[in-house]
Every structure is written in C-alpha cells, then in structure tokens.
Amino acid sequence: MNRLVAAAAFAVLAFAASGLGAGPALAQPYPNKPIHVIVPVPPGALTDVIARRIAADASAIMGQPWIMENRPGANFMPAAETCRQAKGDGYTLCVFTTSTLTFNPHLITNIPYNAEKDFKPVINLGKFTGGVVTSPKLNVKNIDELKAYALANPGKLNFGTYGPASSANVFRQYLNDRWKTDIVEVAYKGANELIAALVNGELHMTWTALGNWADNPNEAKGRIMVQDGDKRQIKLPQVPTYVEAGLGNYPILTWMGLFTPGEVPDAIVTQINAAVAKAISEPKLTEFLNNQIIEPSVTTAQVFSATVAKERKETGEIFQRYNIPKIQ
C-alpha cells in the first residue's frame, strides 16, 4: 500500500511540475509568431502598396514578420469572409476600406457578415483624398467653369463610375443635387479602362482617390477640380476643398483601416494600435503617405471605432436619400 501511495504522490508531483513548465509557454507575450494580414485588393493596387509599406515598419516595431495575403474579389467580400472566419488570437489582421464596413451593409442583400460585431477596428491607416477629375480634353479650367458648363449643357456631361453602387456614382448624385444639374453616369469595369476613357475625352469627368493622380505631369491624365478633406493637401495646394468650392461637407470619406476578427482581446488591439501609430508617426512614413495624397489619421482604437459607426449611419442615410439600389 505504501508503494502505491508513494507512486501516486510521485505522479501528482510530476503532473504539477509539467504544468508549471507549460505555464510560461502558454502565456508567452504577444506576438510570438508571424502575423498574417488580409488585403482586399490585388498586389500593386494603391491600398496594397500603402498596407505593405505600413506593415514593414509595424512588423519591425513588434518584432515579428507581417505576412501579406491578397484576397481580392467583388465588393471586397472574400477578404471580409476570410477575416470573419479567422481565429481571434491576434495573428490575423485585416485591411478594409470604407466600402467593406460602411457601404456593403447598406448595399448587399443577405450580407454574410455583421459589420458591427464581426470585426474590431484597430486604427485608421490613412484617409484617401478624393476629388473630381475632368478630362484634359474638356475645356474647363476650374470647378466654377465646370459647374457653369454643366448648367448650360444639361445631360451632355458624363461621369465615370464603377456602377450604381460605387463611391463615384454616389458623389455624382450628390453633385447633381447640390448643383441642380443633370450629369449622367457611364459605368466602367475597371480603373485602367476608366482612365483611358478620361484621357482620350470619351469620358468627361469622374470622382476618385487622388493618389492615382499623384504623378500627373502637365495634367496629361486629367485636371483635378476639387478635393475633399478639411484642408488642401500638400501636393495639391492650388485645388480647393469641397467647402471652399461651395459643395458643403460631403459625409462620405474614403479611408483604409486595420481591423481584427471580433473575438480578439482588447489588450491585443491596443498593443497593435500603439505599434502602428508609432510607425505612421515616423517622418519618413508620414512623408510617404503625403506623397500618395493620403492623410495620416492616427487615433485610438476607440475613436476609430466610433468614426466607423458614425460613417456607417451617415452612409445609410445618403444611400436612402438617393435611392441607391441594393445588389445581390
């Protein structure tokens, strides 16, 4: 009996010792392995370029590689679904733009994710400066001349979009509403096709993220008429803002942000926020973003979360106002 008791006691002690040994392994500080970052666009797209540049600096700060995984697809749904289904352990991060969490909930019937609950906002990676660009073939030099031409030629100006539910078409309707004009939509399948039509004069104007026009010598690709934001961008000092041009405070802004699956602990979200904020605040990275006509917008996760929720509500209101159709 004594031998049995001794053996049992030894087994208990051995188990306890193994448990003590495993404890530190289970409680290793985050992060202790590579982090995967889901990007909703193809390699080389502006969002991808920006995400990779920020990831390079953030990974150095956190001491682990950030592995970029491109998951492009219609309405950014493949990336959103990949993110939603990922483990909530902080080792999957997701780059989303405005469309994923403020447009799609109002556009897509039976959307498979809950924009409010399935993802946690971490940090705004930057605000894309958007604006109106006209064809170099169109004989207008500024926003006032464009408005006058549109009023004098109802139905003759066309406006390039990526379809009825695209950001460009929403702005077209906002512009018509403000100006009481009749600028008609022409939908294109991709950016290359749209830009080619703008350059050759087939297309008169469009709304887009102006980073695509950061390198535009002699206005060969198009003339920038107006820009969004609270102030004129460093690279566009001659271009008026919406407010300066009499277009009011357009409620929909275009940004790219970093998110996690919804189950990630708040402490990890805060840690990632701090690392990315530090990276973006470095002068070289800030300069890089400014050169892409992107405005850095570093905030806490809580502030970014409130911004996303507010914009989702305002986007729904403007979609309802202009009867933007839902898609399947």
| Contact call for residues 145 and 170 (beta carbons, < 8 A) | no
Which range among 4-8, 41-45, 68-72, 247-251 shows the weakest confidence by mean pLDDT? 4-8
Write down the pLDDT at residue 312.
Answer: 94
The answer to whether the 35-127+253-321 and 130-227 domains have the same CATH topology is yes
SS3 158: strand
Q: Which residues pair with 160 in a beta bridge?
A: 186, 206
Q: Domain map of the chain by residue range?
A: 35-127+253-321, 130-227
CATH code of domain 35-127+253-321: 3.40.190.150
The CATH classification number of 130-227 equals 3.40.190.10
Query: pLDDT class for 27, splitting at 50, 70, 90?
Result: low
Q: Would you state the pLDDT for residue 328?
A: 66
Q: What is the pTM of this model?
A: 0.83
192 close to 164: Cβ distance less than 8 angstroms: no
Token match 């660009």: residue? 133
> Average pLDDT, whole number, for the chain?
89
The per-residue pLDDT for range 226-273, each reduced to its tens digit, is 999 888 988 899 999 999 999 998 888 889 999 999 999 999 999 999
